[in-house]
Structure 1
Amino acid sequence: MTTQRILSSFATILISTALCTQAVQAQETDKVNFAEHKNATALAERLKAKEGIPASTTLELLKQAELLPQVVKAVKPPKTKGVRNWDTYRSRFVEPYRIRKGVEFWDANLGTLKEAEAKYGIPQEVIVAIIGVETIYGQHIGNYRVLDSLATLAFAYPEGQRDRSEFFLSELEAFIALCNRTHLDALEVKGSYAGAIGLGQFMPSSWTAFAVDGDADGIVDLFHSRRDAIFSVANFLKVHGWETGKATRVLVDIEHADNLQELLAPDIVPTFTPAAMQQKGVKLNGETQPDEKLALIELVRGEGEPAFVAGGHNFYVVTRYNRSSFYANAVLELSEALKLRREMLN
C-alpha cells in the first residue's frame, strides 16, 4: 500500500470517528434526568398521597423518560406565521378515504353504535366521525412513548410562547396514576406527540374521567376494544352537555355585513337566538329551535373570502373535545358525509 493510500485511509478513519463522536455527543445532550427536575419530587409526593405509589417508584420512572426534541419542535410556533385556511384543513378530514373507512367502521360496529346512541343520545355518525378524525379508525394512534412526550412537555416546555407546562405536568401525573390502576405499562404506552392515547385520542385525565368499560370485561381498553372506544367517546360528549334535538351546525347566507363583528365577537360560544341572527343579517338554512342559542363561526380561507356557519349548542360541545372551530366543523361535516354515503349504499 502506498504512503498516499495509507494517509487517505487514515484520514477517512479520523473523519468517521469524528462523526460518530459528534453523533454520540448530540444524543447525550438530549439525555436528561427528569427525576432531578425541580417539580419532580412534588409530583412524586402527590402520587404517593393520592395513589399510594412510592415516591421512589415515580422518580425511578422519570429517570427512564427521555427528552424528545421532535416533541419540543412540534409545540413551537412556526418561524413564519401562516394564514389559516379552512379549505386546506377540511381536505385532510372530509375526504374519500376517510369516508370509505368510516362507513366500513360504522357497518362493522353497528350494534355497538346503536346501543351507544340509545344510552347517551349521541348520533352514531358523530361518534364515527370523531374516531375517524382522530385516528382514521385506529390506523394512526401515535408512535411516541407517552411517558417521554408528557415528561418532555412538563419539564422542558419551550420558551417564547404561552407556557403550558402545568397542563402537561397534570397529565403526566394522571398518566402515571392511570398506569398504576390499570393494565397499562407506562414504559410501553404510545400515543400522539402531546400524549393523547387510544382510538379516540383521550388525554390521560380524560381517560380517567370519561372512559367507559363498554364490553363489561372489567378492563377499559381504548386501544383494542372498539366497544370501549365508542362508548367512551359518546360518554365524553354526553357529560359535556350534548342535547338531543339541539343544533350542531347550520348553513347560512350573510345577507348584509352591518353586524358581522358583533356576531363574531362571542367566537364559538352560542349567544344569539335564530331570530336575533336573522334580524342581524344572517339567513339560516336549516332547522333550529326558537329558544336555542347560536354562534356565528367564521371559517377563514387564506386569501379567499371566508365561509360562515352557525354553530349550535352541540357544535360547542364538540369543541370540548378539541377547542377549535375548524375541528368541530370538520367532525360535523364528516359526520354528514358519512351518513349520506351510508344511506346511498344501503
Structure 2
Amino acid sequence: MFKMPILLIWWLFTLSLVYCVNVAAASLDSDSVDDFVTFMATHHDFNEQELKLLFSQVSRLEKTTKSLKNPAEKRKTWLQYRDIFLDEARISNGVKFWRANEEALEKAEKLYGVPAHIIVGIIGVETRYGKIQGKHRVLDTLATAAFHYPGGNKRRTKLFYDYLVQYLILCREESFDPLSLTGSYAGAMGMVQFMPTPFRNVAVDFDGDGKKDIWENASDAIGSVANYLNDRGWLRTEPVFSRATTSSPVRESLVSTGIKANLDLALLKSEGIEPASLFSGTVTDAALYELEGQAGPEYWIGYRNFSTIGKYNPRIKYMMVVAQLSEEILTRWHSMH
C-alpha cells in the first residue's frame, strides 16, 4: 500500500488551511479603499495615514457577501421562519427579561409611548435578549458590503458606504476601537442590532452612566429601541395588528407586499375582511397581509404601528414574528400577574 510521506501530508494540510482562510477573508479592492480614505480625510477630517493603516487590517468576508445575497427571510417559508422565533424558550426568556428590567421598560413606555412587550419582542427576535449578537468584526462586514456588495446593487452599495462612514464617525465620537466591535453578518450591533446611523441618531444613555452601551447594558438597549420606534412614528393609542377573518375570497389587489398601511380599514370591511381582535379608538389606516399557514392562506391586518416595526426591518416575516412574539410574551406576562 502506498504511504504518503509525513512532510507531504503536513504540507497539504497547511495549504488547505491557507486556502480556507483565503476563501473566508480576502483583500478589499485597493482603489475603493483609497477613494474612501480620501473622502473621509477631505469631508470628515480623518487622518489619511491612520485610516490607511486601519484598512490594512480589514478583511473582505465571503460569508457577508453570501448572507447579504440570500438572507433568511428569503430562504425560509413563513412557517419555517415563525418556528425559529416563536418557541417556548424565546417566550419564557422574554418574560424573564421583562421581569429583570421592569423598571427600565416602564420608564421607556412612559417616555416614548412604546409598550414594554413590543420592546421585549424586538430584542428577543434580534438577539435572544442579548445572547446572540454576532461575532463578525463590524468594520470587516461594512467594508465588504460597501466595496463588494453582491450583484453590484448601487442602492445597497451606497447604503453600506454611508454606514461605513457613520461607523468610523461614531467610533471617534464614542472612543470605540473600530477593530474591536463585533456584530451580525451585515454589521448590525449590540442587543438591539443597530446599524451605525441609527446608533448615532437614536441610541441613548438610558441609565445615565455616561455611555451608550447597547452591547451589555439592557437599560440602554431598552431605551434605544423605544426611542427608535418613537422617532419612526409610534402611536401610543393605536393597535399593532390583528388576525383577519374573511367571508369571501380575497382579491389579490388588496394584499400588501410593503410595510405601509395604505388602505382604509372601511374598504377591507366592505370586502368582507374583518379584524378578529377588538380595540378601542378609531383606526382607519391598515394593510392586509397574506401568509401561507398550515391549512392554507392566513390573513392579517397591520396598522400604522405595524408599519413602524417595519422601519426597524422592512421584511413582512420579520414584522410579523416581532408582533406575534410580543403578543405571546404579553399573554404570558398577564397570566403570571
The TM-score, its normalising length taken from structure 2, stands at 0.91
Counterpart in the other structure of 1:325: 316
Q: What is the Cα deviation at residue 26 of structure 1?
A: 5.0
| Percentage of identical aligned residues | 32
Of 141, 145, 149, the residue aligned with 1:157 is 149
Paired positions, count: 334
Equivalent-residue separation in structure 1 for 2:66 and 2:310 (angstroms): 25
Assess if the C-alpha contact under 8 Å between 1:255 and 1:282 holds in 2: yes
Counterpart in the other structure of 1:277: 268
Matched, 1:180 2:172: yes
The one-letter amino acid paired with 2:122 is I
Equivalent-residue separation in structure 2 for 1:117 and 1:214 (angstroms): 13
Counterpart in the other structure of 1:18: 12
Equivalent-residue separation in structure 1 for 2:24 and 2:256 (angstroms): 44
Structure 2 alignment gaps of length 5 or more:
none
- Which secondary structure does the structure 2 equivalent of 1:334 belong to? helix
Matched, 1:252 2:244: yes
- Which secondary structure does the structure 1 equivalent of 2:10 belong to? helix
Counterpart in the other structure of 1:71: 64
For residues 199-241 of structure 1, the C-alpha deviation after alignment (integer angstroms, 9 at most, x for no partner) is: 1000111101110111122211111211111110000000000
Assess if the C-alpha contact under 8 Å between 2:141 and 2:185 holds in 1: yes
Q: Aligned Cα RMSD in Å?
A: 2.3
For residues 10-31 of structure 1, the C-alpha deviation after alignment (integer angstroms, 9 at most, x for no partner) is: x342233133234325535666
Of 306, 310, 316, the residue aligned with 1:315 is 306
- Which secondary structure does the structure 1 equivalent of 2:243 belong to? strand
Matched, 1:95 2:87: yes
Equivalent-residue separation in structure 2 for 1:210 and 1:131 (angstroms): 16
Superposition map of 1:206-245 within 5 A: 206-245=198-237
Assess if the C-alpha contact under 8 Å between 1:67 and 1:152 holds in 2: yes
The one-letter amino acid paired with 1:176 is L
Structure 1 alignment gaps of length 5 or more:
none
Assess if the C-alpha contact under 8 Å between 2:238 and 2:283 holds in 1: no
Counterpart in the other structure of 1:205: 197
Assess if the C-alpha contact under 8 Å between 2:256 and 2:289 holds in 1: no
Q: What is the Cα deviation at residue 131 of structure 1?
A: 0.5
Q: What is the Cα deviation at residue 283 of structure 1?
A: 1.7
For residues 154-211 of structure 1, the C-alpha deviation after alignment (integer angstroms, 9 at most, x for no partner) is: 2222337777222222111111111111132111111001000011000111101110
- Which secondary structure does the structure 2 equivalent of 1:321 belong to? coil
- Which secondary structure does the structure 1 equivalent of 2:239 belong to? coil
- Which secondary structure does the structure 2 equivalent of 1:251 belong to? strand
Larger Rg computed on CA atoms: 1
